[in-house]
Structure 1
């Protein structure tokens, strides 16, 4: 389960934050590095990342029959989750973890207090298959397909343990958020215009498309329910019961949804300080879902180095004690 608090002091030293909620139901948060990001920042982030990945690590290592005991001397110890995943996959995981860190550390639209009992990484089927194969054949490296469904789920729980709201996040990483990269991510890849073959247009299958068609009760809530019911049925009994009622096919309990879009990576060379990638003062016209929307832009340098440093050192303390 996820237990580590967000590294508030480290985030305050690392980032300038520019929050805005000029439009009802729309929150925008721009986060800029105060100075060039030092990969040594990983020291302050590792505990949170270990907490976020621990549940999936246990599941995938059990699947691959890799012992987590430091004295096991497992022959397959080089195949570790998430450390052994390729960099492209790690960038995706980084964005998903940062969704949680941002939701727990900063104030989002509606000023709700979000609870993250566990991250849903155990449902990353291709990552599990990758670790299983790599533990038996270390030459079988490849790219890893992304996890299906929402990248991130957190819930709001009232004093009686009832789930009243959840936030579902989509996270994207780019080494540089150039205008063309942003347009492709948000609006989809470019294709030939069927009405004018001399032009190319976006296919409309980007993040806006995915967020707008998000279910009012997504699969992520069912996945969260399953993990809680398996791992912490007593501690989260009221939450589990509430999710049961929300997930019911007949006469389900109503629950509010907030959509979160996190864009993480390098600032484009032409962007000026304090200038956002997506307008902060008006609700983007591409967003038509009619729910609360929170945008987070996390812009910093040396991203590949920071991500590599974090994921190469997860559980290194345990390895040192082995």
Structure 2
């Protein structure tokens, strides 16, 4: 995809946020959800055999023709997940009391101008959160994802600076050129929590997300190996605490406090669970009895963790079109 200079990037702020944005204040805690019925029509669940006690696979297969009725909501959901990354990119570089002056916005073209592989990674993490927040996990529907960890992708932020400088100088940019690929972000992809009536964290779900154009057994193996690491206190919790310290809203402060309590001592009593979100741009067709790429009857042999494991597979009919709709239609 070729880019020229964009002097404004529509869609980065939602109308309800304009007053807060003009004052330099952002409401970090995510609130957006999509309407359940069109979501289920877009990615209907596939029928699978009964699952064992400590492992469950769920499979959703896209009907791309049904995206239209959900498109705007899904775009808003995906863009909200990236808002904190934009906040970090802009922080300290713009006057919070004045609107962004076109090409002076350091977050211009984010994330649309990044390589498609990077955007697929963002999609995988977003689909993981979408499933947990709308369809639940481990039989519970009260999971919370206070923020995504896209702001930790510093390699791409440095790359974004170079791209925008090149565009400002009058150049063009081919986003999907092989030379534009950058390493993926390390660490936890997403973390969900359950809390009790007192606000104490009782359950933690660490999510590993992958999104590929074609199925790759090696990637599946590595994802399970990463989830198998014996760690009660996921590294992403520390990152979330640091992230939340940038915000002074009551919700953000409440989450920071409970996460700090979890980091210090709560991890000893909270239940740790694992989740794998695997999005792929096609589904099995050679064997009519094969519904999924991931195993349905037992965990993958590479998973050696002793925790409950929930696998979520998204079989996408039009991966390229979905990436363009969610991440490139905004620029």
Would you say same fold, with TM above 0.5? yes
Match of 1:98 in 2: 127
Q: Aligned with 1:113: secondary structure?
A: coil
TM-score, normalised to structure 2, is 0.78
TM-superposed CA distance for 1:44, in Å, is 3.5
Write the deviation string for residues 173-222 of structure 1: whole angstroms up to 9, x where unpaired.
12232xxx2x21123xxxxxxxxxxxxxxxxxx11211111521121011
Give aligned pairs, total. Answer: 292
TM-superposed CA distance for 1:254, in Å, is 2.6
TM-superposed CA distance for 1:235, in Å, is 2.3
Q: Aligned with 1:74: secondary structure?
A: helix
Matched, 1:24 2:53: yes
Instruction: Say which of 258, 269, 281 aligns to 1:254.
Output: 269
Write the deviation string for residues 217-269 of structure 1: whole angstroms up to 9, x where unpaired.
12101111222232146324444333223222x79643221111111122144
Match of 1:186 in 2: 220
- The structure where strand makes up a greater share of residues is 1
TM-score, normalised to structure 1, is 0.80
TM-superposed CA distance for 1:6, in Å, is 3.3
TM-superposed CA distance for 1:124, in Å, is 1.1
CA distance in 2, matches of 1:170, 1:216: 15
Instruction: Say which of 12, 15, 32 aligns to 1:4.
Output: 32
Matched, 1:107 2:136: yes
Match of 2:320 in 1: 304
CA distance in 2, matches of 1:90, 1:26: 29
Structure 2 residues without counterparts, runs of 5 or longer: 1-27
Q: Aligned with 1:16: secondary structure?
A: coil
| Closer/same/farther in 2, CA of residues 7 and 292 from structure 1, 3 Å limit | same
TM-superposed CA distance for 1:306, in Å, is 1.4
TM-superposed CA distance for 1:19, in Å, is 7.0
| Closer/same/farther in 2, CA of residues 43 and 290 from structure 1, 3 Å limit | same
Matched, 1:127 2:156: yes
Structure 1 residues without counterparts, runs of 5 or longer: 188-205, 317-322
Match of 1:192 in 2: none
Contact 1:25-1:292 within 8 A present in 2 as well: yes
Matches within 5 A, 1:201-220: 206-213=222-229, 215-220=231-236
Instruction: Say which of 275, 280, 285 aligns to 2:291.
Output: 275
